[in-house]
Structure 1
Amino acid sequence: MTDAVIDWLLASDPSIRWQVMRDLTDAPESQWRAERERVETEGWGARLLSHQDEDGQWAGGAFAPAGFDWREWKEVGQPWTATCYALTQLRQFGLDPASARARRTVELIGANSRWDEGNQPYWEGEVEECINGRTVADGAYFGVDVSPIVARLLGERLEDGGWNCERAKGSLRSSFHTTINVLEGLLEYERATGGTPALREARRSGEEYLLARKLFRSLRTGAPADETFLRFIHPNRWRYDILRALDYFRASALLTGAAPDPRLAEAIDYLVSRRLENGAWPLDWTLPGRVWFALDEGEGEPSRWITLRALRVLKWWSAAGGEASRQA
């Protein structure tokens, strides 16, 4: 970690600066919290809030924008402007959940937003596990009682330990994508509520699903299960990559005090190998589809978001005594 990289990260948006201060420079809590408060009124956080509808939603819908023509999904890509993705971004930006704006947003969405699939009230959850994982994470972060959704997710776990949005269609194998979405939600819920033995056991089984595969390998062949797992993306939306998984394991360990699992080492080695000469990490790709605004300089360019996440993972790994992989 170099001073030049830290300075580059700090010369950015409040949503990045406060996390750099907390996670990388060990600034006093009073300082990073003061910086975090600026998310609501400056930069990307304020810009995203400016697009909010009067009824509390974004783009007039829960999952898809109002009046969305589904041919756009096929021809252009999935849109990312509706309520569920806006809420997740505000959580990742660090909007203070105790702020009046956040509390009012939660209240309005609960009163006015309904899911496209099934017409359920927003905070009762959707039908797919990956969407419900993110809804639990957002709800727990913003102080909503999402315990009924958590109970559903615990009951939808597959025999191999993880989750899959295709379960209702007959899938018996877990998905990296769905599993990380659910794990993040359960972790946020445990952080907010203390969790339960059943929740902690479910998290352990989902973690074991990923760890047994070294975060990216096929259990059957040993080859990468999907080459995109090794390409860094931000925002991830519903997509999985090894940096997202490593950041999850870091956050989980900070909550529980667990030591790093040695099976993370190969993914850590790969993360280190992708560092650029200037000390940053690149944005490898982005998902197509409409957005409110871009959060990075573009594909192939150094990314502050990827770099922030990579540096805090490596700082945690080193401080916790994680060992490098001995594999060639």
Structure 2
Amino acid sequence: MDTIKWLLDGDIVIQTLTRQYLLDETMHHRNGGLIQRYLECYDPERCMWRNSVYSKKWVSSTYTLLELKYMEIYPLHPTYQAATQIVLDELWQNKGYISKTKQQDMCMAAMVLSLVCYGQFKNEKIYEIVDYILEYQMGDGGWNCAYNSVHNQSCVGSFHSTISVLEALFDYESNGYTYRLNEVKKQTQQAQEYLLKRHLFKSLRTGDVVHPDMIQFHYPCRWKYDCFRALEYFCKIHYPYDSRMNDTLTLVNESLEKGWINRGKKYPGKIHFSLETGQKGAFNTFRGLFILKHYDSQAFQRFISAYHCDEISEESSVRLHV
């Protein structure tokens, strides 16, 4: 199977991601295909999806915007801008306090920061969120939404919260924000080590897999963690290879043995529409190849070579007919 050609025959979103990140072609934002379908579900009067900022999973504005961000909608698109402004206004009020004693959920704060930074917002609330994130990092380097829970308080990091914060801080730095940047970089390094010390999915205490879902491909990831999402993050920041990534890289190679990766497990909840049909998962296959390109170039080249050989054969055929 020519995996690259199969991806290039898919939705315009997958085509663009494949050309940009696997074939190193310069691409511009193309708001067609699945992106356009999401935009058609938008309510311009309320500036949101399904009349919900967050609570209606997975059709609320927050989760829809996260999908559009991953698909790389043009960040200054008026719909993205208007909907993200509503999310910011609704989910971050009173410097993050949702009651007299309780502040916003850490994962939600990270999601909001990620969305507004991608949209290149200029708003004082951004700095409030950064202050909040930096203040409540755990001693082990991670973050945890349960740091201030009344009934289930935790003093250790969570994979889920930590990856959400790391992605948000990457969006913050890569979009040129500089407020408390040295501290952001320092605490980012501690959080990266939190994941790597656990080989991206293992208990630090027992060495066992923390949860079976963490070693399965999912798309969209929602707020959930899997080890492939962690490696995608490390790819995006150009983090050097670390031997503690090996177990996850093995899983990626095993998943790609048939030339594609399954669509993966779905998280329960409402969706706007099905992104893919059938067993093959174009998004997960793209994710796997993106990881291999950065950390296992030999394996990645096998897929690229098949694509280039096919291209050469087609060109030769054209010349013969001419």
> Structure 1-normalised TM-score?
0.81
Question: Separation in 2 of the partners of 1:114 and 1:284?
Answer: 32
SS of the residue 1:166 aligns to:
helix
Match of residue 142, structure 1, among 119, 141, 145: 119
Match of residue 71, structure 2, among 70, 74, 93: 93
Specify whether residues 287 and 191 from structure 1 end up closer, same or farther in structure 2 by C-alpha distance, changes over 3 A only: same
Specify whether residues 217 and 274 from structure 1 end up closer, same or farther in structure 2 by C-alpha distance, changes over 3 A only: same
Contact 1:124 1:149 in 2 (8 A): no
The answer to whether structure 1 residue 14 and structure 2 residue 47 are counterparts is no
Question: Separation in 2 of the partners of 1:58 and 1:123?
Answer: 23
Contact 1:234 1:306 in 2 (8 A): yes
In the TM superposition, what is the alpha-carbon distance from 1:249 to its structure 2 partner? Answer: 0.6
* Aligned 1:156-305 pairs, distance under 5 A: 156-169=136-149, 170-193=153-176, 195=178, 196-253=181-238, 258-277=239-258, 279-297=259-277, 301-305=279-283
Structure 1: gaps spanning 5 or more residues: 66-78, 322-328
SS of the residue 2:217 aligns to:
coil
- 1:272-291 Cα distance to aligned partner (Å, 9 max, x none): 112242x1111230101111
- 1:150-180 Cα distance to aligned partner (Å, 9 max, x none): 2211111010100011111121011111111
In the TM superposition, what is the alpha-carbon distance from 1:194 to its structure 2 partner? Answer: 5.1
Aligned length: 287
Structure 2: gaps spanning 5 or more residues: 300-322
Contact 1:123 1:135 in 2 (8 A): no
Question: Separation in 1 of the partners of 2:52 and 2:95?
Answer: 10
Question: Separation in 2 of the partners of 1:319 and 1:7?
Answer: 19
Question: Separation in 1 of the partners of 2:96 and 2:10?
Answer: 33
Question: Separation in 1 of the partners of 2:5 and 2:298?
Answer: 25
Specify whether residues 85 and 93 from structure 1 end up closer, same or farther in structure 2 by C-alpha distance, changes over 3 A only: same
Letter in 1 for 2:265: W
Computed over aligned residues only, the root mean square deviation of the Cα atoms, in angstroms, reads 2.5
In the TM superposition, what is the alpha-carbon distance from 1:236 to its structure 2 partner? Answer: 0.5
Question: Separation in 2 of the partners of 1:290 and 1:123?
Answer: 27
Question: Separation in 1 of the partners of 2:84 and 2:214?
Answer: 33
Match of residue 38, structure 2, among 36, 43, 48: 48
Question: Separation in 1 of the partners of 2:87 and 2:237?
Answer: 29
> Structure 2-normalised TM-score?
0.83
SS of the residue 2:237 aligns to:
helix
Question: Separation in 2 of the partners of 1:131 and 1:109?
Answer: 10
Contact 2:106 2:161 in 1 (8 A): yes
Identity %: 28
1:81 alignment partner in structure 2:
59
Contact 2:61 2:83 in 1 (8 A): no
Letter in 1 for 2:52: G
Question: Separation in 1 of the partners of 2:8 and 2:19?
Answer: 8
Question: Separation in 1 of the partners of 2:16 and 2:264?
Answer: 24
In the TM superposition, what is the alpha-carbon distance from 1:244 to its structure 2 partner? Answer: 0.4
